[in-house]
Structure 1
Amino acid sequence: MSSNPPDFIPIAAPDIDEQEEAAVLRVLRSGRLAQGPEVAALEEEFARAHGSGFAIAVASGTAALHVALHVAGIGPGDEVLVPTFTFAASANAVLAVGARPVFVDIGDDFLIDLEDAESKLTGLAKGIMPVDLYGLMPDMDRMRAFASDHGLALIEDAAQAHLARRGSWRAGTAGIGAFSLYATKNMMSGEGGIVTMSDEQTARDAALFRNHGMETRYRHVTWGLNYRLSDLAAAIGRVQLEKLPKATARRRSIAGRFDAGLPAFFTRTDVPADAYHVYHQYTVRVPAGVRDETVDRFRSRGVGVDVYYPTPVHLQPSFGGAEGQCPTAERYCRQVLSLPVHPKVTDDQVDRIIDAATAIANNLA
């Protein structure tokens, strides 16, 4: 049981109301609970909302990454360039296809550093996986040029970037995209994921892989796994997608107030003029020596800040990397913290967060 006080502001809170309840009840009463018409409708609506040619719904964001890598032709013996400043799912999906993640440092924007990526290229590299961290896309013109110059497949981890844009590119459209519908994401279905692509053959391959390679009932034309999304989850996702533009506008409004109101003790990242940041998280940096104390002080004031991420993936025990491989990411992991920016944060709560930040800065700066 949570010990948080009633007025505690959580770092995330799903926006669920009678619309999701009605959608779930509709599916329950239909008797069609597994993958069916709700999944097909979610795929069509998601592709239209994101400007992708096709969208294939799967069981999780990690499954979406696995499917994306598989249909991109990445396999055993290959290498994929992955930023180390991300959730481990990005790298785990590379392992799932038998390939090796090559960990790349980040720039000041928390996104993959292409200069470091180039320095780590080998003849085994077959893909690059930029991560749209916190809801900000990298420069996709540069990313596509880099991938083209080096013969790499481009797999975009857009798990945190629903409706994000950068220049002329929408999230998930510059290569093969992988989105998450996990419960804390900007739109959710409890668990789930979406793979986006521009061509029909890749969509067909993804659809086969998520359902045991089954083309028609009990006719398996290739191998695959059970990565199906249920109609129950898809029905929730459809409601969430309808709410997403308004929810995103609210996130951006709260972020704007933080930009204007937070003291200089909290270092913000400049958002490029051509970017539409969707603020899955509002993340700042503080001096490394006081980050954990800053987190504790926020929480003691009823503000549920959190750290994404405390350890770069290459230094996780499962990967066994060495200190110094990705120095910017290693430093930022000791400095970052994220403030509540979800649509259920009220204007009064935004004021409370800014007031808490000001008091903490005055004490620790």
Structure 2
Amino acid sequence: MKGSMNQYATPATGVMEAAESIASALGAESAAPVLDPSEALRAVLFNLGLGPECEVLVPAFGKHTPGPEVCGVGARPSYVDVGKDIVLNRDNLTRKLEAEYRRENGKWVHRRRGLTLRGIVMTHPFGFAPFLDEVEEFAEEHGLILVDDARGALGSQVWSNSRSAWISAGAGGVAGVASFNGSAFVISSDPELVRIVSAKLRDPREEGLSSEALRDLRISAMRTRRRLREALVSEGLGAVPETPNYCQTACHEVILVAKGERDEAAERLKEAGFIVETDFWPWTVMNSPDRQYGYRKGRCPESEELSRKAIAVRMR
């Protein structure tokens, strides 16, 4: 589970150029383009101190989870069974904490492994997102560092009651990353953290970003998702969960939960001209003999069942 630390160490030199237009478009204090969002997420985790000898809560379900990135900096991912909720919330986080951790000297320590819990990484799968205020409050109440993994969700927004504003995916918590279709950014309220991460991973293309472009992406996604939902409901192959009203998504695909055999439903959708994907966590790793990325079969039964039935669907 240990990763190479040198590549994420704080650089002694290097100054990041100002990126006011990008930060403004994302509604963040500081942001910068990066080449690889997964590498950027690892760098964010490491520079926030979420490395060896600690645990980080991550959702068990999704096209990807932050588990590999947490492992990549030497920490241990602790998978939360999100199930039908799809994303993290106060209820499933509380169940996880009460079931597996104890309070010791002001910290949360795993009852069996003895490692200290230090952080949470939330995600934005299929146009869904956690209710940001709720997860931020949970993290603050329990002394945990919150990181926002918005890979694939650039342009999406989540409403915050505490701020009375829409918050860009990737801009929640202490720091995060957001990406879509080849563009990726590291985002934080801490300009120094953005400088450190982008010094090693900065995208040399120096691409810009505008609030108008992100708005157009959300409008396009809304129209596409509406057409997809209508088409999938008419096919009658399963349920299409509604996106929460506190989300404005830029995701152009939806999730279908097959009511029968998933492979049969996926084939019918392909024949109808849709693009489908069926590889989801934890289904893709739970049968691994070496417990890949720290996941153990049976640990998150609701997420396992959902990953066995889910189909990501998008237009050609």
Q: What residue in structure 1 maps to residue 96 of structure 2?
A: 117
- Determine if contact 2:217/2:250 at 8 Å carries over to the other structure: no
The letter for the 2-side match of 1:170 is: S
Alpha-carbon distance in structure 2 between the residues aligned to 1:323 and 1:199 = 38
Alpha-carbon distance in structure 2 between the residues aligned to 1:310 and 1:155 = 19
Aligned pair count reads 276
Alpha-carbon distance in structure 2 between the residues aligned to 1:301 and 1:132 = 27
Greater Rg over alpha carbons, structure: 1
Does residue 305 of structure 2 align to residue 334 of structure 1?
A: no
The structural deviation recorded for 1:323 is: 2.6
Alpha-carbon distance in structure 1 between the residues aligned to 2:280 and 2:143 = 31
Q: CA RMSD in A?
A: 2.8
- Determine if contact 1:161/1:280 at 8 Å carries over to the other structure: no
Q: TM-score, normalised by structure 2?
A: 0.77
Q: TM-score, normalised by structure 1?
A: 0.68
Q: What residue in structure 2 maps to residue 291 of structure 1?
A: 262
The structural deviation recorded for 1:157 is: 0.6
- Determine if contact 1:160/1:280 at 8 Å carries over to the other structure: no
Does residue 126 of structure 2 align to residue 130 of structure 1?
A: no
**More helix per residue: 1 or 2?**
1
| 1:104-135 deviation per Cα after TM superposition (whole angstroms, max 9, x unaligned) | 11142311232343234442100000111123
| 1:1-47 deviation per Cα after TM superposition (whole angstroms, max 9, x unaligned) | xxxxxxxxxxxxxxxxxxxxxxxxxxxxxxxxxxx9xx957x43331
| 1:149-176 deviation per Cα after TM superposition (whole angstroms, max 9, x unaligned) | 1111001111122222222233222214
Does residue 204 of structure 2 align to residue 230 of structure 1?
A: yes
What are structure 1's unaligned runs of at least 5 residues?
1-35, 212-226, 346-365
Q: What residue in structure 2 maps to residue 12 of structure 1?
A: none
- Determine if contact 1:305/1:338 at 8 Å carries over to the other structure: yes
Does residue 141 of structure 2 align to residue 149 of structure 1?
A: yes
Alpha-carbon distance in structure 2 between the residues aligned to 1:145 and 1:328 = 25
The letter for the 2-side match of 1:69 is: L
- Determine if contact 2:283/2:308 at 8 Å carries over to the other structure: no
Q: What residue in structure 2 maps to residue 300 of structure 1?
A: 271
Q: What residue in structure 1 maps to residue 36 of structure 2?
A: 60
What are structure 2's unaligned runs of at least 5 residues?
1-13, 102-107, 110-115, 161-166
Deviates more, 1:193-202 or 1:141-150: 193-202
Alpha-carbon distance in structure 2 between the residues aligned to 1:149 and 1:296 = 46
The structural deviation recorded for 1:284 is: 1.2
- Determine if contact 1:109/1:269 at 8 Å carries over to the other structure: no
Alpha-carbon distance in structure 2 between the residues aligned to 1:89 and 1:63 = 14
Matches within 5 A, 1:1-365: 40=17, 43-88=19-64, 90-112=66-88, 113-118=92-97, 119-121=99-101, 122-123=108-109, 124-168=116-160, 169-181=167-179, 185=180, 187-189=181-183, 193-207=184-198, 210-211=199-200, 227-231=201-205, 234-235=206-207, 238=208, 243-261=213-231, 262-263=233-234, 265-287=237-259, 289-309=260-280, 311-312=282-283, 315=286, 317=288, 318-319=292-293, 321-341=295-315
Alpha-carbon distance in structure 1 between the residues aligned to 2:245 and 2:202 = 38
- Determine if contact 1:86/1:133 at 8 Å carries over to the other structure: yes
